Structure 1
Amino acid sequence: MALLPFLHGLARAAGDEPPIFVLNSKDADVSVIDPSTWEEIKRIPTGKEPHHLYLTPDEKSLIIANAFGDSLTFIDPRTAEVQRTVRGILDPYQLRFSPDMQWFVTAANRLNHVDIYRWDGENLTLAKRIPTRRTPSHIWIDAASTTAYVTMQDSSELVAIDIPTQKLLWRISTGTLPADVYGTPDGRHLLIGLTGGDGVEIYALGASPDVPPKLKQTLPTGEGAHAFRVVGDGRHVLVSNRVANTISKIDFVNLAVVDEYPGPSGPDCMDLTADGRYILLSSRWAGRLSVIDTQTRKVVRQVKVGKSPHGVWTLNHAPRQ
């Protein structure tokens, strides 16, 4: 294994790079990894079952959503110090800020609702709790910050919610166990990973948000298509195939799979290093952070973390647009 180019690409020197965070869902904590040494330098206790995480619009706080803990843990993304804990957020399984930074949306996977909060730059105020059907999973918010698209994992549906009025716009059926949802930058398509299938459904969006989208095609990627991570080049997005143990690279302009990488041991959430070369992957069944070189298509490193790692994130990442 040629480690010198690898280490050069991921860290200039010890302490120069912000840490990598991996959420250990079954341990109720966060592994903090130094990318210069690839050692776990500490664990941060959180509420029960941290699954997903999101950066505040001012980039000062990384929010860890603790689903069973009914809380949000705010962590400094540069120092890995806990800033505060916000309690009384019911079942925040998945979370997302609107692009205009005015709204914060959570999906309650266990309690079957979507919460829409107003965000004033520091505090959250619940605008409305919207009952849904079974197991809301992942959220995508359009560029206009007016529409939230949410997958319903166990009722195999996609719903759209008008954010300013907090009204349900429509509901459509999808394939089995829809998980992550991704909207293309041109506003024309939605991609949905089918964890109960072997590919990604691609929907053509309607002329306006209140018009339900239509299924355009199902793109085979691998069994258990689950989580997306945009590459940051304005053209490609990655999807982890949890059962197939692969990662597919999708050209969302031509709507085709153009490359494939290994994704060992139940690949779940991903981040991408700033240069776009290395995929940081939570290998959920192995309890490890896997690092994949996109040029050689090989796993170049694995770091032991906690039980059932889910969300993975670093401030030193490729663009998310």
Structure 2
Amino acid sequence: MNLRRLKYFVKIVDIGSLTQAAEVLHIAQPALSQQLITLEDEFQQQLLVRTKRGVTATEAGATLYRHAQLILRQYEQAQADVKSAGQTLSGQVSVGLAPGTGASALSLPLLRTVRARHPNILLYINENFGTTLSELIMNGRMDMAVLYGDKSVHGLSFQLLMNEEMFLVAPRSMGITQDQIPVSGLRDVPLLLPRPYNYLRKYVDEGFARVQMIPNVVAEIESASTLSAAVGAGIGATILPESTARVVAAAGDIVQSRIVSPVIKIPLSVCLSDHLPLSEPAAAVKDILLELAGDLALGVRVEPGGDA
């Protein structure tokens, strides 16, 4: 097996057509078909099936596709690391930041600091839901992500950045004025929360369960902008980690109260692949991310260049 043959196979699966893949790869279709036959002989498995819509991967083909992506990415990473050895760090690094989390406060400091310290690193930032980001990391299509959670699963590892306390964020019209509010005091408060599979919702539900209560959820919202607008419009209150609560409260006539009895905390972590090593540029970006997260936990504002 050679890398070129794997690249051909991945491109065929991505496009779903031998003819179109041959055009993109600038190779004659019979030659591409022969490369596929050779690959199937090597694995002694049928890797693709022809349909009216083109070609699709068999179960064996889908397995090879996942491994091929990882192999090709590792090879590209090795090339980049060897080429840049002893030189200024350069290359592409992808970082996911889950929206509506404390990770959002890291985006601009991260861009500024990476730009100041490693101007030849091309930083790609993707703000998406945590489940989507973790899948991209597992598939080797993203280097790292900052999201809520700390329990390692197969294919992923989590490095804890901080534990954030949860706050009630409510429109002032609700008349909630205390700086702290017990969970029992939220019994009749209409809440706007994410769906139950969301990490934030899981920690909220666990906090309520500790006092044998169920949150009074009147709507489930995943969009950070819609959630802020709904709270500002007086439709309901929400529960957010401290860093995000401060941002939402500052955007309108909104108050925030620390939740106590019990205090609800949620872990914010760097999510990484548990089997793919980071490139040198990615490792440098990770170090900056850990540094900035430490400053965020201490409430220190980070200026361009990374000097607190």
TM-score, normalised to structure 2, is: 0.25
Question: Which of the pair has the greater relative contact order for Cα pairs under 8 Å at 6+ separation?
Answer: 2
Structure with the largest fraction of helix: 2
- Higher Cα radius of gyration: 2
Which is strand-richer, 1 or 2? Answer: 1
Normalising by structure 1, report the TM-score: 0.24
